């Protein structure tokens, strides 16, 4: 989770200035600054979210029932064939975790090779204090994002969907799905589980890894480009501030301990859209209207990347 020192100071200033320019919508509980050491050391889970203990899925949606449903289609319905500006482009969306992981502890605790070492197949993810789960959030945003990108002609594949397996897939399989699809861009969607008062989004970039089955060297440059674009458009569209506990205000974090990034052979990033355990962020994450903004912000960064000269 290191970012080169030379990039941190100007990056932090830029992130904060951009945030101020858009009005600081829903501002953080304190000034954006360096990451808290205690939180930084904890943020090392397989999924990309901070280590956390999540409650089992609640029978209700939590602190904010969805006020708009994500676009959906029947499992056997063919993907739309678009003719827009993204025709011929392939995007893989990886909705973090799975609601069924809670009931499959043995399966998701199985160790898999991520190149640098071995880690759990997957984790349960986190939830708001009222029980709205990260797995449910990520799939909702993924559906919204898919609909936006398909309208522009992209071919979109999800690593999991509501009609899929009851748990997983494992992080190595999530990476493999993007690789097999030869995706032009891939993104893993998450929400964090840090302490109250820690809020904001951050985009996780793959660091340079060349060990075992992992070799990210060909994708670190394009992935940073993809992630930087997404960070900028996510901020502009949602008004969510850059994380005040990771990334020193840049909204960007580099990591080498995530199998979903280490094993990718295509440009790929993770996004932590906010902190589910912070009351201000939770109010946004449980809003269907805000989740639509999140999908729009992510899509604009992806489109910018795919249409770059």
Domains in the chain (CATH in brackets) are 5-22+34-52+85-306 (3.40.630.40)
Residue, of 238 and 41, whose pLDDT is higher: 238
Mean of per-residue pLDDT scores for the chain: 82
Residue 193, pLDDT above cutoff 60:
yes
Residue 64, pLDDT above cutoff 60:
no
Residue, of 95 and 26, whose pLDDT is higher: 95
Per-residue CA distances from 297 to 99, 230, 235, 280, 286 (Å): 25, 7, 7, 19, 17
The pLDDT, as a whole number, for residue 79 is 56
Does the reported pTM lie above 0.95? no
pLDDT in tens, 103-159: 999 999 999 999 999 999 999 999 999 999 999 999 999 999 999 999 999 999 999
- Three-state DSSP at 294 gives helix
The pLDDT, as a whole number, for residue 68 is 55
Length of the chain: 309
Tokens in use for 91? 């995007």
Cα–Cα distance between 218 and 216 in angstroms, integer?
A: 6
Q: How confident is the model at residue 83 (pLDDT cuts 50, 70, 90)?
A: confident
> Phi then psi for 133, rounded to 5 degrees?
-85, 155
What's the whole-number mean pLDDT along residues 201-216?
A: 96
Per-residue CA distances from 49 to 145, 154, 174 (Å): 20, 28, 16
pLDDT in tens, 227-248: 999 999 999 999 999 999 999 9
Q: How confident is the model at residue 80 (pLDDT cuts 50, 70, 90)?
A: low
Residue, of 35 and 88, whose pLDDT is higher: 88
**In the annotation, is 240 catalytic?**
no
Residue, of 1 and 96, whose pLDDT is higher: 96
Residue indicated by tokens 């003719």: 83
List CB contacts of 2: < 8 A, sequence separation 6 or more.
Answer: 207, 254
Lowest mean pLDDT, pick from 33-47, 157-171, 175-189, 203-217: 33-47
Burial label, 133 (beta-carbon count in 10 A; 0-12, 13-18, 19+): buried
Residue indicated by tokens 């939180």: 39
The pLDDT, as a whole number, for residue 308 is 87
The pLDDT, as a whole number, for residue 216 is 98
The pLDDT, as a whole number, for residue 168 is 97
H/E stretch holding 252 reads strand 252-255
What's the whole-number mean pLDDT along residues 155-175?
A: 97
Lowest mean pLDDT, pick from 19-28, 57-66, 207-216: 19-28
Q: Which of 164, 123, 162 is nearest to 143 (CA)?
A: 162
Residue 1, pLDDT above cutoff 70:
no
Candidates 134, 240, 272, 300; catalytic one: 272
Longest Cα pair distance anywhere in the chain, in angstroms?
50
What's the whole-number mean pLDDT along residues 220-224?
A: 98
Residue 15, pLDDT above cutoff 90:
no
Cα–Cα distance between 228 and 293 in angstroms, integer?
A: 18
Per-residue CA distances from 77 to 3, 83, 202, 258, 308 (Å): 43, 18, 34, 33, 31
The pLDDT, as a whole number, for residue 71 is 57
The pLDDT, as a whole number, for residue 298 is 98
């Amino acid at each position: 989770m290191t970012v080169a020192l030379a990039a941190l100071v100007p990056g932090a200033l830029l992130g904060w200035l951009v945030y101020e320019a858009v009005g600081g919508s829903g501002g953080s509980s304190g000034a954006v600054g360096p990451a808290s050491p205690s939180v930084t050391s904890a943020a090392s889970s397989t999924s990309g979210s901070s280590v956390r203990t999540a409650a089992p899925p609640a029978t209700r949606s939590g602190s904010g029932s969805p006020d708009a449903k994500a676009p959906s289609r029947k499992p056997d319905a063919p993907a739309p064939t678009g003719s827009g500006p993204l025709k011929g482009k392939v995007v893989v969306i990886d909705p973090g975790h799975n609601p069924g992981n809670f009931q499959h502890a043995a399966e998701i605790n199985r160790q898999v090779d991520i190149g640098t070492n071995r880690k759990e197949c997957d984790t349960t993810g986190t939830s708001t204090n009222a029980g709205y789960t990260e797995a449910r959030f990520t799939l909702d945003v993924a559906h919204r994002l898919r609909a936006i990108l398909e309208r522009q002609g992209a071919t979109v594949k999800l690593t999991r969907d509501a009609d899929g397996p009851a748990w997983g897939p494992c992080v190595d399989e999530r990476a493999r799905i993007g690789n097999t699809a030869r995706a032009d861009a891939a993104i893993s969607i998450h929400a964090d589980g840090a302490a109250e008062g820690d809020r904001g989004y951050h985009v996780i970039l793959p660091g340079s890894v060349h060990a075992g089955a992992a070799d990210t060297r060909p994708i670190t440059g394009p992935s940073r480009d993809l992630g930087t674009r997404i960070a900028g458009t996510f901020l502009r569209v949602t008004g969510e501030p850059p994380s005040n506990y990771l990334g020193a205000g840049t909204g960007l974090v580099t990591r080498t301990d995530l199998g979903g990034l280490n094993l990718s052979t295509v440009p790929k990033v993770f996004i932590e859209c906010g902190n589910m355990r912070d009351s201000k962020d939770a109010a946004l994450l449980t809003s269907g209207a805000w989740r639509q903004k999140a999908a729009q912000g992510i899509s604009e960064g992806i489109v910018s990347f795919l249409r770059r000269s």
